[in-house]
């Protein structure tokens, strides 16, 4: 249950209630890439790949063309043979693995860069400067992840579906304190509520910045509700979301507002320190 507070804009409360209660819809954002076994992940990294990877056809499906002269990296592919069962029926059984050259890294492809987007009255550069965070290169073969954050740094997948929303999500993790040494320990234990806090912050910010065309709201709601697994977020988490939204929003404004922050309640602010 979301409870309205005098220090929180009423529409934020209603938006959060919508994110928690209005049915979401799972999209394709988080399943566009093949998931590799740990063995193949290690093998690809041994071949120098630390970026999203895909097959030739897989990159074509994402409107990217493998550069001429690129050499495919190898992965282990299972091999099967047909054997007769006692009842005379044939079944396939694993016979082993073989190395198949079939994988290309993002840097070995050509295509459009991520679209640049910035709301009319809000600046990404001003926000990351004010918040004292840094954007770094995306350095993992996990293509389905849209971004990640560690410490005061965040990275965006070079083929992210909604890069602006993803940036706000990662800023949400940082500002909420999830990426500190202590925060990371708690994140591993309570990942669901931490993902709720980051995505709920991004959901509210996308609405506050009138950037509804830059993300899929039903998919965002599905993300929030899936991570919560039917549980209601604690009031302290709701406070943290509102405080995080307030900090990120004000950090990027072209002209800082003179009024008191929306979540100026000292208790709320302290929770996101």
pLDDT digits (tens, 9 = 90+) for 32-53: 999 999 999 999 999 999 999 9
pLDDT digits (tens, 9 = 90+) for 106-124: 999 999 999 999 999 999 9
List, in sequence order, every residue forming a beta bridge with 122; answer none if it has no partner.
253
Whether the per-residue pLDDT at 261 is higher than 50: the answer is no
Which structure tokens are listed for 130?
A: 């004010």
Whether the per-residue pLDDT at 260 is higher than 50: the answer is no
The Cα–Cα gap between 173 and 170 comes to: 5
Q: Predicted confidence band at 4 (pLDDT cuts at 50, 70, 90)?
A: very low
> CB under 8 Å to 166, separation ≥6 — which residues?
146, 147, 156, 157, 160, 202
According to DSSP, residue 167 is labeled H
According to DSSP, residue 179 is labeled T
Percentage of the chain lying above the pLDDT 70 cut: 90
The Cα–Cα gap between 4 and 15 comes to: 11
List, in sequence order, every residue forming a beta bridge with 150; answer none if it has no partner.
153
Whether the per-residue pLDDT at 271 is higher than 50: the answer is no
Q: 252 with 127: CB under 8 angstroms?
A: yes
Tell me the whole-structure pTM to 2 decimals.
Answer: 0.86
Tell me the pLDDT of the chain averaged across its residues: 89
pLDDT digits (tens, 9 = 90+) for 176-191: 999 998 888 888 888 9
Domains of the chain: which residue ranges? 10-32+114-271, 38-82+91-109
Whether the per-residue pLDDT at 267 is higher than 80: the answer is no
């Amino acid at each position: 249950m979301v409870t309205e507070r005098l220090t929180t804009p009423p529409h934020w409360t209603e938006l959060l209630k919508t994110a928690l209660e209005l049915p979401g819809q799972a999209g394709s954002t988080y399943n566009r890439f093949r998931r590799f076994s740990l063995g193949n992940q290690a093998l690809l990294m041994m071949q120098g790949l630390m970026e999203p990877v895909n097959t030739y056809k897989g990159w074509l499906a994402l409107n990217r063309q493998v550069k001429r002269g690129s050499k495919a990296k190898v992965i282990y592919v299972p091999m099967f043979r047909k054997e007769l069962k006692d009842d005379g029926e044939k079944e396939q059984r694993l016979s082993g693995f073989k190395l198949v050259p079939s994988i290309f890294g993002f840097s070995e492809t050509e295509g459009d860069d991520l679209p640049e987007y910035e709301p009319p009255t809000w600046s990404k550069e001003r926000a990351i400067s004010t918040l004292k965070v840094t954007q770094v290169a995306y350095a993992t073969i996990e293509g389905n992840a849209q971004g990640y954050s560690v410490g005061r740094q965040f990275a965006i997948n070079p083929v992210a579906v909604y890069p602006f929303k993803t940036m706000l999500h990662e800023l949400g993790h940082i500002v909420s304190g999830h990426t500190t040494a202590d925060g990371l320990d708690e994140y591993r234990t309570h990942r669901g509520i931490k993902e709720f806090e980051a995505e709920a912050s991004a959901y509210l910010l996308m609405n506050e910045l009138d950037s509804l065309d830059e993300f899929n709201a039903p998919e965002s709601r599905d993300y929030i509700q899936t991570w919560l697994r039917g549980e209601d977020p604690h009031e302290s988490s709701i406070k943290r979301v509102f405080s995080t939204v307030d900090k990120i929003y004000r950090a990027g404004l072209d002209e800082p507002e003179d009024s008191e922050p929306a979540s100026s309640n000292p208790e709320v602010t302290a929770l996101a320190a």
